[in-house]
């Protein structure tokens, strides 16, 4: 499988840890490039941020227009069918990025898988099913994909991996109730979840980034 194209930012020489950050629907790897300085203070331990571009694909809810997307979204109805083949193909591509970090000397236990919106959904899906232990998983303004398969497919090795989940209470795109449902599902499956709500729309806030930065310092 061809590796995803990526944007990379290293916050210092010879980083020993990596954050793989997945963008939302229709964006690309540059979308969160500007927040990296908000997450790592000058002089702190060096981190490598790997910001991949999702593949171009037609997206049904956008009239079949082709755009960067981790999977197709067929309907705004949360009970509609999900693009299982697209989700699993993207998860495999994300695992390819994890393996490349391993080859560059960063063990999986020093990697955080993070994402926003569609990317956050992919981070949660891929991280809970990963067969090597991650340092942490972050899902911002997102929801659980293929939730009915979580109990059967989750990997015991990441059962104790810290998970950061956050959502805006004014989100008109992904209702905050989906974030709360995701939190409950993770907790009921035995995961350790850090949960935050912010009075924001479908976006990230300075306060949220401060909380993410503090959490990253703890897990890395």
- Supply the residues annotated as catalytic: 117, 171, 202
Neighbours of 119 (CB within 10 A): 33
Neighbours of 66 (CB within 10 A): 11
Separation in Å, CA 173 to CA 45, 77, 89, 135, 202: 35, 12, 24, 29, 6
CA dihedral 154→4→74→200, nearest 10 degrees, is 80
The whole-angstrom distance between residue 90's C-alpha and the CA centroid of its chain comes to 12
* Structure token digits, residue 33: 């490039």
């Amino acid at each position: 499988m061809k590796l995803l194209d990526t944007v990379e930012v290293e916050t210092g020489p010879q980083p020993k840890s990596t954050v793989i950050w997945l963008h939302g629907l229709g964006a690309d790897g540059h979308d969160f490039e500007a927040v990296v300085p908000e997450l790592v203070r000058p002089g702190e331990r060096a981190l490598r941020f790997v910001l991949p571009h999702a593949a171009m694909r037609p997206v049904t809810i956008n009239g079949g227009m082709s755009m960067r997307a981790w999977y197709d979204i067929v309907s705004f109805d949360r009970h509609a069918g999900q693009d299982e083949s697209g989700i699993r193909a993207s998860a495999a591509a994300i695992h390819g990025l994890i393996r490349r970090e391993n080859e560059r000397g960063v063990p999986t236990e020093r990697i955080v898988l993070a994402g926003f919106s569609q990317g956050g959904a992919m981070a949660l899906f891929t991280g809970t099913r990963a067969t090597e232990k991650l340092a942490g998983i972050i899902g911002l303004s997102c929801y659980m994909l293929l939730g009915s398969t979580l109990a059967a497919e989750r990997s015991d090795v990441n059962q104790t991996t810290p998970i950061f989940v956050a959502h805006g209470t004014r989100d008109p795109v992904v209702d905050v109730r989906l974030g709360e449902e995701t939190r409950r599902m993770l907790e009921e499956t035995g995961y350790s979840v850090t949960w935050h709500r912010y009075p924001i729309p479908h976006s990230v806030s300075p306060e949220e980034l401060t909380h993410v930065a503090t959490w990253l310092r703890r897990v890395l």
